[in-house]
Structure 1
Amino acid sequence: MPSSRDLLDGLAHLTGNRNAQRLEYSLLKTLDGIYESACIWAIQLKADGRPRSLHSFDRKHDAVMTVPFDPAHQPTPAGLLEQALATGKPVADVDGSGSRVSVFPMSGLNEFSICLVFSFDDDGSNESLDTLLVESFLSVYRNFVRLIDDAQTDELTGLLNRKTFDENFRDLATLGRSVTRPGLEEDRRQEPGPEATETWVAVIDVDDFKKINDSFGHVYGDEVLILLARLLQQSFRDNDLIYRFGGEEFVVLAQIAGADRAVATFERLKDAVADYGLPRVGRVTTSIGVTRLQSYKTVSAVLDEADQALYYAKAHGKNRVCLYDRLVAEGAVEPSSIQTGEIELF
């Protein structure tokens, strides 16, 4: 049976992580190592508190596996999850196969609102849960998540901030380099197949934002930024990353298959913003510059490409989506002068 020392050691390992996107992985892996005979799941919740997805740690692949939540095949006895969500307290029961199931709700964590489920087979094992000890462990985890969340998010919109973008970009670029053959120039010229998922970087800017602030005041300007943040969150999936860089500028890292779909995705966002009428301010539009993330490019080079596409959109009517590679192919903009490579010079 795990001791308080086991949980403290696990907690020390878990809180060494400063990447909010990997906290759930660290939590599930840590608990999997402590409670080796248990099946452990995290049920992620929607903003309204309903279950959205089911997550478990795969020891073989050292990864968190995710599937949509299916009420007909959930890992808890009937009504147990609903009871935990209604009371906000840990609950336990025995399922139809005789396994002992415990549910620990963890709410109020923005994107990290989850319920943890522990299931122990009735096989005579002495391993069991000390509910109070697990609650204390999860309370420390919850406080740690809040600290990380405060450090990595923009105060006004709740989106990720610029510092977090730099950290996420390095992770994505490193991942991209690990699956290519370094040093071969032909790798850089290879185009993925039409169904291959790529990472696209978009810089999004509110058109004529200074006029909004000057005409209506900063309170209404903030309302525009909060609206755009909400529309961004509604337009992209959970694994896409959305940032506010400051002022009226936003950046998205989105996984999309192919250039045509990438443009269509951001066109839908642009139209959603333009179709949304704000009281007093009225119609607001955005201009969007898009480029493809490639592993050999620095953050400066990628943002320069997206910025060039954005400036072109601004200069040619605004309320437009422009793709950098297509602008270069058409001769509308010059290729980026920022050199690509492994070294970031700031």
Structure 2
Amino acid sequence: MSKVSSCGYEWTIQLVSQNSEHMLDKCLASILSAALAEASLFAFYFSKSLSIQQTPCAIFTSSEQWLDEQLDVPALVGRLNKLNHDVQLLSLAQMQILPVRYQGLILGFLAVDNSAIIPTSEHNVLNHVLNIYVHQLATLQYARIDPLTQLLNRQTFDEKVMDIVAGKEAWLVREHGNDVKWYIAMADIDHFKYVNDNHGHVIGDEVILLVAQLLKSNFRIGDYVFRYGGEEFAIVFPCKDEGKAIEKLDSVRAIIAATRFPQVGSVTISLGVAELTDNAQVADFVNRADQALYQSKQDGRNRVTAFSNMDSAKDSYQTGDIELF
């Protein structure tokens, strides 16, 4: 552990140099492996949404053996929340816990097996490293937020889909389990051109904002909701099967249709959904979901269509004379 004190500045530079969440996680894992004894077990649990509404999940561990310990994460977080803010270490019978805070909230912790006792003199450096990680993660996330809707933006969408398909986000698998599939849905506000033409762009922005809020509030913390562009949104989320995915999307569609929008009245959305697999590019997934979205528009709007349920013409659709907006 003597290396911790001498490398604190170097580790800080490494962390703030990362420009993707995936590489930031890898960097922190490498730093902790170097800082802690090679023989020790450790695990980093964190809420990637930066929200206390999401239970911290294992972002990485030094060994899968750690997961067999079946750590009671909610109970441990509850215990950490009772500590004074100046407490940097919680010593338990078999492990030491370093709380990870952001804006005064406990969002996770580093658990270290007691085979590597962390000297008091090293607490500050390790906590500093964890603090730098959290703030760099927040910086990356805020740079990827759409300013109007506060949803994730288009650039983040491409990166997230690629990471999921490539299996780079191992913590997502641990959080959601191996028995789920990932789906991409494209959603578009129906007759949005009419809203802009008849009520003005200010009201149009208010409609986009309210739809965004309804989408975000009706999906889980661990799901990803993006403003794809204009009045179009993308949702990337795990489900047990396609039937459940369609059911979830349809319930959100119904909530939006039942909501009264100021000055506009009723607003509906159309959606298309496709499964994320490991044998296609991001553009292919978007194209499939877009084809299903177009089919929803063609069939009368205010509905959900799955790409898998479309006929043999699904590979070469044309917009024709249908007004999508």
TM-score for both structures, normalised by structure 1? 0.71
User: What secondary structure does 1:152 align onto?
Assistant: coil
Does residue 201 (structure 1) correspond to residue 184 (structure 2)? The answer is yes
Q: Judging changes above 3 Å, is the alpha-carbon distance between structure 1 residues 167 and 48 closer, same or farther for their aligned structure 2 residues?
A: closer
Cα distance, 1:140 vs. partner? 3.3
How many equivalent residue pairs? 304
Decide which of 60, 65, 79 is 1:57's aligned counterpart: 60
User: What secondary structure does 1:252 align onto?
Assistant: strand
Cα distance, 1:308 vs. partner? 1.6
Does residue 34 (structure 1) correspond to residue 38 (structure 2)? The answer is no
Does residue 287 (structure 1) correspond to residue 270 (structure 2)? The answer is yes
Decide which of 309, 316, 323 is 2:306's aligned counterpart: 323
Decide which of 212, 224, 232 is 1:229's aligned counterpart: 212
User: What secondary structure does 2:109 align onto?
Assistant: strand
Cα distance, 1:291 vs. partner? 1.6
Q: Unaligned 5+ residue runs, structure 1?
A: 177-194, 339-346
Contact 1:57 1:63 in 2 (8 A): no
Does residue 309 (structure 1) correspond to residue 292 (structure 2)? The answer is yes
CA RMSD of aligned residues (A): 3.8
Instruction: Please identify which structure carries the higher helix content.
Output: 2
Which position in structure 2 is the counterpart of 1:20?
A: 21
Cα distance, 1:43 vs. partner? 5.0
TM-score for both structures, normalised by structure 2? 0.75
Aligned equivalents of 2:123, 2:22: Cα separation in 1: 27
Which position in structure 2 is the counterpart of 1:344?
A: none
Cα distance, 1:270 vs. partner? 0.5
Contact 1:32 1:57 in 2 (8 A): no
User: What secondary structure does 1:336 align onto?
Assistant: helix
Paired AA for residue 155 in structure 1 = P
For residues 1-346 of structure 1, the aligned pairs below 5 Å read 1=1, 2-20=3-21, 23=24, 26-27=27-28, 30-36=31-37, 37=40, 39=42, 41-42=44-45, 44=47, 49=52, 52-55=55-58, 57-61=60-64, 69-71=73-75, 74=76, 78=79, 80-84=80-84, 89-92=85-88, 95=91, 97=93, 101-107=97-103, 114-117=107-110, 121=114, 125=117, 127-175=119-167, 196-328=179-311, 334-337=313-316
Q: Judging changes above 3 Å, is the alpha-carbon distance between structure 1 residues 221 and 102 closer, same or farther for their aligned structure 2 residues?
A: same
Q: Judging changes above 3 Å, is the alpha-carbon distance between structure 1 residues 243 and 131 closer, same or farther for their aligned structure 2 residues?
A: same
Q: Unaligned 5+ residue runs, structure 2?
A: 169-177, 318-325
User: What secondary structure does 1:157 align onto?
Assistant: coil
Aligned equivalents of 2:109, 2:212: Cα separation in 1: 29
Which position in structure 1 is the counterpart of 2:322?
A: none
% identical aligned pairs: 26
Aligned equivalents of 2:161, 2:118: Cα separation in 1: 45
Contact 2:95 2:112 in 1 (8 A): yes
Aligned equivalents of 1:97, 1:67: Cα separation in 2: 13
